[in-house]
Amino acid sequence: MNRRHALRHIALISGGLALIPSCDFSSDDILAAYEKLKVTASQKELLGVVSNTIIPSGEIKGALDIAVPDFILVMVNDCYTEEAQGKFVNGLKAFPEFAGSGFAGLSAKEREAKIQDGLTLEGDDSEAGQKQKDIAFFLNNTKRLTIQGYMASEYIQTEVIPYSLIPGPYNGAVLISDIQKPRING
Amino acid sequence: MANLNIRNKQERTYEAIVIGSGISGGWAAKELCDLGVKTLMLERGRNVEHVKDYPTTNMLPYEFEHRGQIPEDIKKDNPVVSRCYAFREDAMHFFVKDQEHPYVQEKPFDWIRGYQVGGKSLLWARQVQRWSDLDFEGPARDGFAVDWPIRYKDLEKWYSHVEKFAGVSGFKDGIDVLPDGEFLPGYDLNIVEKHFADQLKKHYGGDRHLISARCAHIHGNVDFYAQQGRTMCQNRNLCQRGCPFGGYFSSNSSTIPWALKTGNLTLRPDAVVESIIYDEEKGKATGVRVIDRLTKEVEEFYADVIFLNAAALNSNLVLMNSTSNRFPNGLGNDNGLLGKYVAFHNYRAQVSGIHEGHTEYTTSGGRPTSGYFPRFRNVHKQETDFLRGYAAGFSASRGVRPNTEALGMDLKNNLLNPDQYGPWYVGSHMMGETIPKESNYVKLDPTQKDEWGMPLLSINIDYDDNDEKMIKDYQEQMSDMFEKAGFTNIRVNDDHRRPGLDIHEMGGVRMGKDPKTSLLNANHQLHAVPNVYVTDGASMTSTSTQNPSLTYMAFAARAAHHAVAESKK
């Protein structure tokens, strides 16, 4: 186990303890596992709501069930440039203002509509415009990483669409009409 | 540096020493050991045992914390190796990091290295096309570099010898620029690649070919390869992790374990070669001085014959650092040409497009190779305003993708049931011959040294006008061929990559007929020190367009047999 995993577990434990008595995030600790992002527990929870709106739970688990927000933060923390990290975090911080403080309580359809709107936000060079662009950056990257983290998860690749390291021999002329795949309902 | 030669000299004496355990060193050692020669193999890096030391080989995608991507901090610290296509989370432990082994770039050069037992044979692209006399005769015909002292007939049986053992899949295509070899069953081109091959035949009167690239993967004759503990390639396309099946050829899976089984090989990892020892009284090389990678202790080993296979530029470095009264400018360097006339392959340009036909088809499964365009420019005579020519890779692919426009349950269902087939994408990249020039050279930095006290290598290599013209011609010709095949959305690209990223650096210790203008003779012996053989990329007189590893293997096997024959005289 590396330092990252250890830290994440500590953060989860202490976060859990803090939740029991108060159920709010007034203390809102910065999560040490994503040291470059300085995101708080409540921001991570918001990210969870967004990613779980992008891929919700159902018969098959959704993004939040399999800790996709954690994957998103690891990727942004480790694999993004400093500039991109700044845009992502600024977008995450500005999102409640755009989506309304009651975002988490909206219906799935309403949340989807808000995110769809946010994905295409454009802005000028003014401070407000920059905020719009950051929100769009945050949402587009969250969507992309949600899809990646979800599809390339242990759960999907073992229980839903088992992944094989051995793809079988090459067939360079497969008639698409001959391919039959069962429908998987989420 | 304490000199702790506590073991007696006899214990440190062998019949042959092979410096380097990569693709050519592995072959030299295997042949020597098969011929009963007590051989010491020196490798500067750590040991990597087949299967046991492939930590990522069976990891599933989700087991990589960043799903294969290299974290930004590592990229920042290692800008050179981060530009290599295979430097990913699953194989980064097999690459030299920039900081660990610095070098001097007089001009930008991406030097990609693998310091471990097996070297870059773990990481190579496994393409193995033979040279023909149209390649060996190039310098003499077109008046550059010097004439090769060998021809195809000298190498032909050695190509066969190494192909049979390594395992090479391919078809007998009957093309003069690319002689056929000892092939296991080939991998078919897909339906669109075949379409392209047919169109080329139709439009170019049989002068231009698209074939399935010959690759060093086992695709048949299973019983034979079982003797090496290897079996069929499983089409995993995870080769750079090391293959637990031994499905592709590497020193680790093939030549080194084979040589060890003879009982004649001693493998010594963590041995940084400082120099080859030259005895002025005897007038020959007598051994090798090494620095232990971990303890920094100096130790000497002795042998009658020495094979230098440290990889092209490092073989140059070892010779340059092997100085004596007789050879003040480096071992065998009487003419001052050591380190000069270095060349490489020009991979800068790509052409891509879309094929709108064959929409009812797709592909399934995996394959370890793709299409290959043998060289067609200036093959039989000079016909363009640039020298030599280029080969090219080509492939067509089509995949099913999910619609990702929606959100929520619709997105989720689309992701789990991908059903959108895009068009067929077609793509090609050039592999151009570059002309060896005196102005493209490597030398020892006069002051800077590495952690082991070795001088840093200083690299001065660049493209020239010939390369620029060739890029333009490739882009024009390939676009033309794409158009004739009916491909659309044709895009040409020049990625302006630095020399070196092709990982086909060659020369500096070139072969030739005349000791005044070359370092090595027709048998890969230093003209001035015939018990030193150089059989890796350093020995290349010119580069032609083929991926060079197969030729190094044949060189090494041929030279090993020569050395043994000489020792019996």
The confidence score (pLDDT) of residue B313 equals 98
The confidence score (pLDDT) of residue B1 equals 44
Determine contact: B90 vs chain A, CB below 8 A.
no
The confidence score (pLDDT) of residue A174 equals 96
Instruction: Pick from B66, B72, B358 the residue to mutate for testing the A interface (most A CBs within 10 Å).
Output: B72
**Dist. CA B284–CA B253, nearest whole Å:** 34
* Neighbour tally for B145: CB within 10 Å: 24
Pairing of strands B488-494, B349-355: antiparallel
The confidence score (pLDDT) of residue A155 equals 98
Q: What is the mean pLDDT of chain A?
A: 88
Per-residue pLDDT at B165 exceeds 50: yes
Residue type at position B434? T
Residue type at position B169? S
Per-residue pLDDT at A20 exceeds 50: no
Pairing of strands B271-279, B284-292: antiparallel
Cα of A21 to nearest chain B Cα, Å: 33
The confidence score (pLDDT) of residue A14 equals 42
The confidence score (pLDDT) of residue B6 equals 60
List residues bridging with A33 in a β-sheet. Answer: none
Per-residue pLDDT at A9 exceeds 70: no
Residue type at position A14? S
The confidence score (pLDDT) of residue B5 equals 53
How far CA A147 is from CA of A45, A58, B65, B404, B560, in Å, comes to: 18, 16, 15, 9, 55
**Dist. CA B27–CA B547, nearest whole Å:** 17
Q: What is the pLDDT confidence band of residue B383, given thresholds at 50, 70 and 90?
A: very high
Instruction: Pick from A114, A174, A183, A185 the residue to mutate for testing the B interface (most B CBs within 10 Å).
Output: A174
The confidence score (pLDDT) of residue A101 equals 86
Judge whether A170 and B367 are in contact, CB under 8 Å. yes
Query: Chain A window 52-71: which residues touch B at a Cβ cutoff of 8 Å?
Result: 53-56, 58, 60, 62
Q: What is the pLDDT confidence band of residue A4, given thresholds at 50, 70 and 90?
A: low
Percent of chain A with pLDDT over 70: 85
The confidence score (pLDDT) of residue A5 equals 57
Determine contact: B198 vs chain A, CB below 8 A.
no
The confidence score (pLDDT) of residue B3 equals 52
Q: Which residues contact B361 (CB under 8 A, 6 or more apart)?
A: A173, A174, A175, A176, B191, B192, B398
Q: Which residues contact A68 (CB under 8 A, 6 or more apart)?
A: A51, A52, A55, A145, A146, A149, A150, A153
Determine contact: B197 vs chain A, CB below 8 A.
no
The pLDDT of B320-331, averaged and rounded, is: 98
How far CA B400 is from CA of A158, A163, B360, in Å, comes to: 20, 16, 12
Judge whether A149 and A47 are in contact, CB under 8 Å. no
* Neighbour tally for A86: CB within 10 Å: 15
The confidence score (pLDDT) of residue B4 equals 52
Q: What is the mean pLDDT of chain B?
A: 97
Per-residue pLDDT at A10 exceeds 50: no
Of the partner residues B190, B367, B408, the one whose CB lies closest to the CB of residue A53: B408
Q: What is the pLDDT of residues B384-420, one digit of tens each?
A: 999 999 999 999 999 999 999 999 999 999 999 998 8
Element (H, E) at B392: strand B390-397
Per-residue pLDDT at B381 exceeds 50: yes
Question: How many CB contacts within 8 angstroms connect chain A with chain B?
Answer: 131
Record the tokens describing residue A175, joined without a space. 């008639």
Per-residue pLDDT at B275 exceeds 80: yes
Q: B411 and A150 in contact by Cβ < 8 A?
A: no
Residue type at position A169? P
The pLDDT of B331-350, averaged and rounded, is: 98
The confidence score (pLDDT) of residue A19 equals 37
Phi, psi values for residue B101, rounded to 5° = -135, 80
The pLDDT of B290-304, averaged and rounded, is: 98
The confidence score (pLDDT) of residue A23 equals 40
The confidence score (pLDDT) of residue B566 equals 96
Per-residue pLDDT at A2 exceeds 90: no
Query: Chain B window 330-389: which residues touch A at a Cβ cutoff of 8 Å?
Result: 360-367
The confidence score (pLDDT) of residue B419 equals 87
Q: What is the pLDDT of residues B430-459, one digit of tens each?
A: 999 999 999 999 999 999 999 999 999 999
Residue of chain A with shortest Cα separation from B234: A166
Per-residue pLDDT at B260 exceeds 50: yes
Record the tokens describing residue A137, joined without a space. 């950056």
Q: B66 and A165 in contact by Cβ < 8 A?
A: no
Q: A170 and B188 in contact by Cβ < 8 A?
A: yes
Q: B360 and A176 in contact by Cβ < 8 A?
A: yes
Give the ipTM of the model, two decimals please.
Answer: 0.93
Q: What is the pLDDT of residues B202-212, one digit of tens each?
A: 999 889 999 99
Q: What is the pLDDT of residues A57-108, one digit of tens each?
A: 999 999 999 999 999 999 999 999 999 999 999 999 999 999 998 999 999 9
Percent of chain A with pLDDT over 90: 77
**Dist. CA B511–CA B525, nearest whole Å:** 9
Of the partner residues B72, B417, B421, the one whose CB lies closest to the CB of residue A78: B72
The confidence score (pLDDT) of residue A33 equals 86
The pLDDT of B256-275, averaged and rounded, is: 98
Of the partner residues B188, B191, B360, the one whose CB lies closest to the CB of residue A177: B360
The confidence score (pLDDT) of residue A29 equals 84
Q: B365 and A179 in contact by Cβ < 8 A?
A: no
The model's pTM is 0.94
Q: B412 and A58 in contact by Cβ < 8 A?
A: yes
Pairing of strands A171-175, B420-421: unpaired
Q: What is the pLDDT of residues A24-48, one digit of tens each?
A: 444 578 898 899 999 999 999 999 9
- Higher pLDDT among residues B5 and B514, named by residue: B514
**Dist. CA B194–CA A44, nearest whole Å:** 51
**Dist. CA B307–CA B549, nearest whole Å:** 17
DSSP string, B479-505: HHHHHHTT-EEEEEEE--PPTTTTS--
Q: B407 and A161 in contact by Cβ < 8 A?
A: no
